[in-house]
């Protein structure tokens, strides 16, 4: 900060020119202060060092939290070790004063930057959009479309000013946790907007125990609900508001417990077929992104499964209310090692009465019976009916399976790709009583039919990617799987990943 005292004498025309806010020295040197403002400023100067320390400390903590929130986001702050001038500034700075109060993030496009700025200022009150560089409140601006907009593209590129660059001048008003919550909520909501989705069909809100969830709505009134914890679909309703998925009334919506019901994701291990906890850890992890959910390895993951990966899950509520899940898993190991995994969409269907339900499409197929130490048998009946506990893995199944709820006169159609097996499970009465987060009689109203890859695990070399898909629909009829439209294709095929 520099204070330039003095007096200027001259005609009124000169005074007017010098005092103009858009032209003349005042734009560069700052306006002339009246005596009161000068006195108040001088009274605050002795505390400037304390405020700068707090500003630097907060900027450092915010930079670290933002990097952890979304590792794919470019965060520019000289206090971060990956900053090209970190060591230089570290050698020059006064110890204890940090690395400054200015940090930047790159949202890639001007549209995404402006969406985030709007959320930060107008919805979550994180700070003010302004080109100034010092205030007790956070200030922020998109440099590429404001202060640097008159530069030619070549100069902007040379200076690292991208269209999506947002510059923050960090203030010290409010607590760090308050400001972090405002930023985090605004960023999450802006990511939904960034998907070019009409926000009246997508809502980010709080669910049970304060967990983040997304509600997807379709124009006819169908809906789906997805908890970011575990990328877990917990609700799927038709246009009449009828729930099509089962979630236990005793489900525990609290980490690290998995949610009982809906569609848990089993990765990198199905059931206890390996050394990890049953069904792996994906269903108890937090995803970072929304409609397209992204799960990457954490340090905790690597300790129990020593591989690096990227798991992308797209959840789409299509025209007519079909629910589509598409998973992409990529091996991102840098040590040249392959990895092997099994996978399942652990779907819980809501049925009226399990004794009035049958599953068609797996008749005459071989299966592994989990109730008999995974011995291999061949299905003899023309359909699966339920009179006792069932826990089977059907092998080399067709791409279409039907679940008929006779009492409701409803048929669930399950279509799948990249998932050759199908798991069918109902715990029945005795087993249900041993499951803490399942009501004693709730087995009557649930059935798990899971698109899976169990018998032959998937192996990926570094850089390779696997894709698996599941599409669910519910129709008000009771025809068998053999009558399902063979020409129907996955609606999710037309949705490409960003």
487: pLDDT strictly greater than 90: no
Report CA Rg, the chain.
29
Residues of the chain with CATH 3.90.1150.10: 47-177
% of the chain exceeding 70 in pLDDT: 83
pTM of the model: 0.57
Q: What tokens were used for 361?
A: 């499409």
What is the pLDDT, as a whole number, of residue 267? 67
Nearby residues of 230 by Cβ (< 8 Å), 6 or more positions away: 258, 259, 264, 265, 282, 283, 284, 285, 286, 287
97: pLDDT strictly greater than 90: no
Q: Which whole number is the average pLDDT over 130-145?
A: 82
Active site residue 279: no
Walk across the sheet containing 323-331 and list its strands: 292-296, 309-317, 323-331, 465-475, 410-417, 400-405, 357-360, 384-385
For residues 142 and 107, give the distance between their C-alpha atoms in angstroms, rounded to a whole number: 10
pLDDT band at 102 (very low <50, low <70, confident <90, very high): very high
For residues 52 and 136, give the distance between their C-alpha atoms in angstroms, rounded to a whole number: 10
263: pLDDT strictly greater than 80: yes
pLDDT digits (tens, 9 = 90+) for 306-333: 888 888 989 988 877 889 999 999 999 9
271: pLDDT strictly greater than 50: no
Q: Which whole number is the average pLDDT over 422-432?
A: 96
Among 374-383, 448-457, 472-481, which is the least confidently predicted range?
472-481
Walk across the sheet containing 232-237 and list its strands: 202-206, 212-217, 223-227, 232-237
What is the chain's mean pLDDT, rounded?
82
Q: What tokens were used for 96?
A: 């204890």
74: pLDDT strictly greater than 50: yes
Q: Which whole number is the average pLDDT over 474-495?
A: 46
Q: Assign a CATH topology to domain 47-177.
A: 3.90.1150
150: pLDDT strictly greater than 80: no
Among 82-86, 139-143, 154-158, 296-300, which is the least confidently predicted range?
296-300
Q: Which residue has the higher pLDDT, 151 or 180?
A: 180
398: pLDDT strictly greater than 70: yes
Place of tokens 């699966």: 384
pLDDT band at 453 (very low <50, low <70, confident <90, very high): very high
pLDDT band at 477 (very low <50, low <70, confident <90, very high): low
Q: Which residue has the higher pLDDT, 219 or 253?
A: 253
CB-based contact 141:129 (threshold 8 Å) = yes
What 183-186 contacts at long range (C-beta under 8 Å, 24+ apart), as own/partner pairs, is: 183/62, 183/66, 183/120, 183/124, 183/126, 184/65, 184/69, 185/124, 186/116, 186/119, 186/120, 186/123, 186/124, 186/126
DSSP 8-state symbol, 259:
P
Q: Which whole number is the average pLDDT over 12-38?
A: 65
Q: Which residue has the higher pLDDT, 287 or 212?
A: 212
The catalytic position among 225, 360, 450, 455 is 450
What is the pLDDT, as a whole number, of residue 222? 87
What is the pLDDT, as a whole number, of residue 371? 96
| 3-state SS class at 432 | helix
Q: Which residue has the higher pLDDT, 327 or 47?
A: 327
Measure CA 419 to chain center.
Answer: 24
pLDDT digits (tens, 9 = 90+) for 340-393: 999 999 999 999 999 999 999 999 999 999 999 999 999 998 899 999 999 999
Q: Which whole number is the average pLDDT over 448-470?
A: 94
What is the pLDDT, as a whole number, of residue 458? 93
The catalytic position among 297, 346, 350, 360 is 346
What is the pLDDT, as a whole number, of residue 276? 39
Among 100-104, 252-256, 339-343, 375-379, which is the least confidently predicted range?
252-256
Domain 199-485 bears CATH identifier 2.60.40.10: no
What is the pLDDT, as a whole number, of residue 200? 56
Active site residue 387: no
What 239-242 contacts at long range (C-beta under 8 Å, 24+ apart), as own/partner pairs, is: 239/321
pLDDT band at 27 (very low <50, low <70, confident <90, very high): low
What is the pLDDT, as a whole number, of residue 376? 96
Residues of the chain with CATH 2.70.98.10: 199-485
Most confident listed range (20-24, 122-126, 142-146, 370-374): 370-374
pLDDT band at 172 (very low <50, low <70, confident <90, very high): confident
CB-based contact 467:458 (threshold 8 Å) = no
């Amino acid at each position: 900060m520099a204070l330039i005292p003095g007096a200027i004498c001259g005609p009124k025309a000169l005074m007017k020119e010098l005092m103009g806010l858009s032209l003349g020295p005042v734009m560069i040197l700052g306006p002339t202060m009246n005596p009161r403002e000068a006195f108040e400023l001088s009274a605050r100067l002795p505390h400037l060092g304390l405020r700068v320390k707090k500003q630097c400390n907060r900027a450092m903590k915010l930079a670290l939290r933002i990097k952890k929130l979304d590792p794919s986001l470019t965060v520019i702050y000289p206090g971060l070790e990956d900053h090209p001038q970190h060591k230089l500034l570290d050698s020059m700075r006064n110890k204890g004063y940090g690395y400054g109060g200015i940090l930047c993030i790159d949202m890639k496009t001007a549209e995404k930057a402006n969406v985030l700025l709007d959320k930060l200022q107008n919805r979550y009150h994180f700070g003010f959009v302004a080109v100034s560089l010092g205030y007790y409140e956070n200030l922020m601006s998109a440099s590429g479309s404001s202060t640097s907009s008159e530069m030619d593209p070549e100069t902007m590129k040379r200076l690292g000013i991208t269209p999506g660059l947002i510059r923050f001048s960090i203030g010290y008003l409010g607590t760090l946790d308050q400001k972090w919550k405002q930023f985090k909520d605004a960023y999450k909501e802006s990511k939904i907007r960034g998907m070019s989705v009409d926000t009246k069909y997508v809502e980010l809100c709080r669910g049970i125990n304060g967990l983040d969830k997304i509600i997807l709505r379709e124009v006819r009134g169908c809906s789906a609900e997805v908890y970011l914890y575990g990328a877990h679909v917990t609700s799927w309703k038709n246009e009449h508001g009828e729930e099509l998925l089962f979630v236990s009334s005793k489900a525990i919506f609290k980490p690290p417990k998995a949610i009982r019901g809906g569609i848990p994701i089993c990765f990198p291990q199905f059931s206890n077929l390996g050394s990890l906890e049953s069904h792996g850890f994906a269903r108890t992890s937090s995803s970072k992104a929304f409609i397209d959910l992204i799960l990457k390895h954490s340090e905790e993951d690597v300790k129990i499964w020593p591989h690096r990966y990227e798991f992308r899950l797209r959840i789409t509520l299509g025209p007519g209310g079909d629910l589509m899940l598409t998973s992409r898993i990529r091996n991102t190991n840098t040590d040249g090692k392959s990895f092997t995994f099994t996978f399942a969409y652990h779907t819980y269907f809501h049925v009226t009465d399990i004794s009035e339900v049958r599953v068609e499409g797996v008749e005459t197929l071989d299966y592994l019976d989990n109730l008999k130490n995974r011995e291999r048998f061949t299905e003899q009946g023309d359909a699966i009916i339920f009179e006792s506990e069932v826990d089977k893995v059907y092998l080399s199944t067709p791409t279409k399976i039907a679940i008929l709820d006779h009492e409701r006169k409803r048929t669930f159609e399950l279509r799948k790709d990249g998932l050759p097996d199908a798991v069918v499970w109902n715990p029945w009465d005795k087993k249900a009583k041993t499951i803490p987060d399942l009501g004693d009689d709730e087995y009557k109203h649930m059935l798990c039919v899971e698109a899976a890859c169990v018998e032959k695990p998937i192996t990926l070399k570094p850089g390779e990617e696997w894709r698996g898909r599941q599409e669910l629909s519910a129709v008000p009829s009771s025809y068998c799987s053999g009558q399902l439209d063979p020409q129907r294709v996955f609606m999710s095929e037309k949705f490409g990943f960003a």
